[in-house]
Amino acid sequence: MAELHKLVATLRTALEADKAASPHAPAEHPAMPVAPGGSRAELAARFARELEAVGGRLLGILTLAEAIDRIVALARETNPRLVAIADGAAGDASAIASALDGAGFAVMRTTPAIDDGARAAIRDRLSRADIGIAEADYAIASTGTLAVLTTPNGPSSLTLLPPSSVITVRVDRIVTDLAAALEALGPETLATHRMTLITGPSRTADIEKRIVLGVHGPKSLDVIVVWPRDD
């Protein structure tokens, strides 16, 4: 953890110096430069390998329409009592929620909490959801890690409380390593948002060093890489 804080501090210093030389208004969700298709495919393949090495599962590299169908199919396989979903940078949550609702599943859309009572109510409902669906801001190819920023519409409890976590990420948001993700987010975003780094399902070792899944978070992690149809 100390190394992570040191890396963030180093990147912030460098980025702030660069901004002072060329000031510009920061975007809430900074866009990554568009990489050639081959580079995107290579990064996606590496991310998939590392994700599965840490116990996650890639549901596919899909168009948005295919991703929605796959999420509905997953819900039919597990028959959840409640599915929780938050808006993300790409704005795909409404389409996913509508498809789940149309398939007969109870859907909870997370909304900004106005006070402590509202936050407690949201956490209570999330604790009763069987599936939590979120969008990652970035995916890190070198470790199979997902970086998810906490926002008013997307509380961190969405990726921590439901036992099954489903996360989508746009293919142009897959970067090589943690340093690249932090640089892409920028110092302003890092200073004003909590970031959750998710590397596989939740793991806990007992006194006999046996690994148990799901004690302090989701016991399963499914990821969909969304590749736009027209890209």
Count Cα atoms within 13 angstroms, Cβ side, for 141. Answer: 16
18: which 2 tokens? Answer: 């660069």
Please tell me the predicted confidence (pLDDT) of residue 87. Answer: 73
CATH class, domain 41-226, is alpha beta
**pTM of the complete model:** 0.78
d(CA 77, CA 39): 34
> Beta strands 138-140 and 131-135: pairing type?
unpaired
Q: Per residue in 114-164, pLDDT tens?
A: 788 888 888 899 999 999 999 999 999 999 999 999 988 888 889 999 999
Please give the single-letter amino acid code of residue 67.
Answer: A
